[in-house]
Structure 1
């Protein structure tokens, strides 16, 4: 109803809305019962009809307010104004009618919109009731001793109860507003997490594609150009390069199937599987490039994520050597340390300034190792070659000791 909405607001708890509805219903039951009883007991026919007219105006105004709450003519303050005038008139008609003032007290708080407006209409109703009683009784002892004192006591109690109710409902409304804001913030946070998750997944896919498919396709292009150039002069060499193209293409196909989820990854890797895979990569690299490749590869037991990170970092490092280093010798060392596993790739090429590097490869390796709690160190300068050192922490293996072991170089 309009009275409850005016006090509680659109965000108030359902508990208080229900309580206010019940309060309003009780007020009207008491008001109607008392009004009918008083009108019936009034001995004067003229006073009885006048009282019924005034009561009818109050009921009609309230009915219009309840039926058309959005009507610009019938507003809560209009209803309260009619109620104030009716109470003054009823008090003037008979002393018994002044008792109706008591049961209408809640309406000033329900329809007053604000505590100030409620207090204002309550003051007007008090003045109208006392004025009507005074007009009927005059300056008598009964007026001062009974009517005025009892009315002021009722008003004081009504003010205290009304202010308390306003405070409680205001707290309820504020709590409901905070709950709405919290739900909205949680929804925005959830949406932000989803966007971040999607961005992280796109970055991971981009990194995997760069480290696998893109590198493999680059190798195929280089080998195809070399094979075409040597078809007449070095047919045997071209045939070997064509076999390398076929092998690389098959590996890329397997990598593509794995990326889209067609191939099932195993939960772990057997001892020595990383070393064997790296050896095949190094042999293929030496065969394709003609560079001298030295590998010191220890058998390292690690989980699948660590294994993939080591393989991808090796592939990216060798691809950089092929494209940029102009080196003659490449060294790869895989070792198990007490603090984790180390992968070191060195070359005697032209070198570069790491701080000026803007490529995707080094940054992708750093992020890949960081996801596993590791780190990547790049040491290089112009003319002095390059050293790539990746470290991934692992659980200490049985028999490992910190004493006398070689740390990160």
Structure 2
């Protein structure tokens, strides 16, 4: 039988059967003490033996509540009580007809308050030997008495051990199950916390991309436009033509600032991009190309007359990806021209942004946050990003988004699949 050490070192739960049933153990113990006291008072003629017996019972009754409290389980105190119980019961065995009743509560208490199963076995053997020794002293050592007392002690030990180990195993299994349930509850709580942390992290990443793709880009445009206006103001006399151009630039600054203010309000209100408030993705992309031209890079747009049905998330992902791609062209490509093209081909929409800038090696230059942001955003709607570029040869970004065939409203332009550059997965 598997004997696990230090069972009572584990704190019992407050709703344990042992704890709830403890009062009945107390009642049974004190009832047995009262019975023994009555037997001694009514059947012991020797005053000295009566006084010694009552004193021993009084010590046991007085120490019991102080050594067996719930908070003391697993400490030395229950063990001390078990030792005292063995001594008292063994002492009473030397006296005629007074200690047998205590055995009915002594055996269960030994198993209740022993710290291990091994300690329970040893204590059970000790109390059986003590009782047998007292009986042998009282009745003599004849072969018949020796056989009867030995048989009684052996059967008592066997019955107590079997019952004690069986109860011990049941309680041990119950404690293991309670511990397993506690671990499962803790694991479930940890999973819930992990899901919350993952959700919070995903939301932070989403907000980071939104801010990067909207506010940061918009205010960068404000800075670039204002610097261009200031540079022209310093180098040009304010004739009518120059004044009109300055007015146009300042008007572009004002428009950009207003658009980004609306973006901030949209983000705070947890809505989609302000350009899509009317559901016009094509118009938003066209305005995006015009804004890129105003920012200094001549950008053309090639858009279909209509689009298949797109979800709000798909529209937002396409618009934000186009914004990020054109921002990368303006910031990093040193390009004079760029093109934004949206094509519908079968079960996919292909958004292409190309430029005539310096280009880069996609296999080496993977540190740009913009490409990672685009790839992550497209991945959320099942899309992919492909990059075709080389040093000195410009760059082409292909952003592919799946759509349902039956939702299509227009066919792809005839040149949709022609002259496509080699595609390399963005890293």
TM tier, shorter chain?
0.7 to 0.9
Q: What is aligned with 2:254?
A: 246
Long gaps (5+) in structure 1? none
**Residue among 351, 364, 370 paired with 1:361:** 370
Q: How does 1:83-162 map to 2 (within 5 A)?
A: 83-95=85-97, 97-140=99-142, 143-144=145-146, 146-162=148-164
Q: What is aligned with 1:205?
A: 207
Instruction: Flag the 1:168–1:393 CA change in 2: closer, same or farther, 3 A.
Output: same
**Residue among 267, 280, 284 paired with 1:259:** 267
Query: 1:107 deviation in Å?
Result: 1.4
Structure 1 CA distance, aligned partners of 2:88 and 2:303?
104
Q: What is aligned with 2:398?
A: 389
Q: What is aligned with 2:281?
A: 274
Range with bigger deviation, 12-21 or 106-115: 12-21
Q: How does 1:6-405 map to 2 (within 5 A)?
A: 7=8, 9-12=10-13, 14-18=15-19, 21=22, 24-25=25-26, 27-46=28-47, 47-66=49-68, 75-95=77-97, 97-140=99-142, 143-144=145-146, 146-231=148-233, 232-233=236-237, 234-261=242-269, 273-289=280-296, 291=298, 293-300=300-307, 301-355=309-363, 356-398=365-407
Structure 2 CA distance, aligned partners of 1:96 and 1:141?
24
Query: 1:336 deviation in Å?
Result: 2.1
Q: How does the TM-score come out when normalised to structure 1?
A: 0.86
Q: Could you report, residue by residue, the CA deviation over 1:217-256 in whole angstroms, capped at 9, with x for unpaired residues? A: 1212222222223333533322221121111111111111
Query: 1:70 deviation in Å?
Result: 5.6
Structure 2 CA distance, aligned partners of 1:182 and 1:9?
18
Instruction: Flag the 1:160–1:256 CA change in 2: closer, same or farther, 3 A.
Output: same
SS of the equivalent of 1:230 reads helix
Instruction: Flag the 1:197–1:62 CA change in 2: closer, same or farther, 3 A.
Output: same
SS of the equivalent of 2:400 reads strand
Query: 1:33 deviation in Å?
Result: 4.2
SS of the equivalent of 1:289 reads coil
Instruction: Flag the 1:142–1:368 CA change in 2: closer, same or farther, 3 A.
Output: same
| Alpha-carbon contact 2:263-2:273 (below 8 Å) kept | no
Range with bigger deviation, 203-212 or 84-93: 84-93
Range with bigger deviation, 376-385 or 221-230: 221-230
Instruction: Flag the 1:209–1:103 CA change in 2: closer, same or farther, 3 A.
Output: closer
| Alpha-carbon contact 2:387-2:396 (below 8 Å) kept | yes
Structure 2 CA distance, aligned partners of 1:252 and 1:369?
23
Range with bigger deviation, 250-259 or 193-202: 193-202
| Alpha-carbon contact 1:269-1:302 (below 8 Å) kept | no
Structure 2 CA distance, aligned partners of 1:161 and 1:407?
84
Instruction: Flag the 1:66–1:163 CA change in 2: closer, same or farther, 3 A.
Output: closer
| Alpha-carbon contact 2:306-2:410 (below 8 Å) kept | no
Instruction: Flag the 1:109–1:100 CA change in 2: closer, same or farther, 3 A.
Output: same
Range with bigger deviation, 229-238 or 128-137: 229-238
SS of the equivalent of 1:345 reads strand
Range with bigger deviation, 277-286 or 7-16: 7-16
SS of the equivalent of 1:330 reads strand
Q: Could you report, residue by residue, the CA deviation over 1:333-358 in whole angstroms, capped at 9, with x for unpaired residues? A: 11223323210111222211223142
Q: Could you report, residue by residue, the CA deviation over 1:268-303 in whole angstroms, capped at 9, with x for unpaired residues? A: 9777x2112211222232344262524233422312
Long gaps (5+) in structure 2? 1-5, 421-427
Instruction: Flag the 1:394–1:69 CA change in 2: closer, same or farther, 3 A.
Output: closer
Query: 1:210 deviation in Å?
Result: 1.4
Structure 2 CA distance, aligned partners of 1:24 and 1:339?
77
Query: 1:55 deviation in Å?
Result: 1.9
Q: How does the TM-score come out when normalised to structure 2?
A: 0.83
What is the number of equivalent residue pairs in this alignment?
401
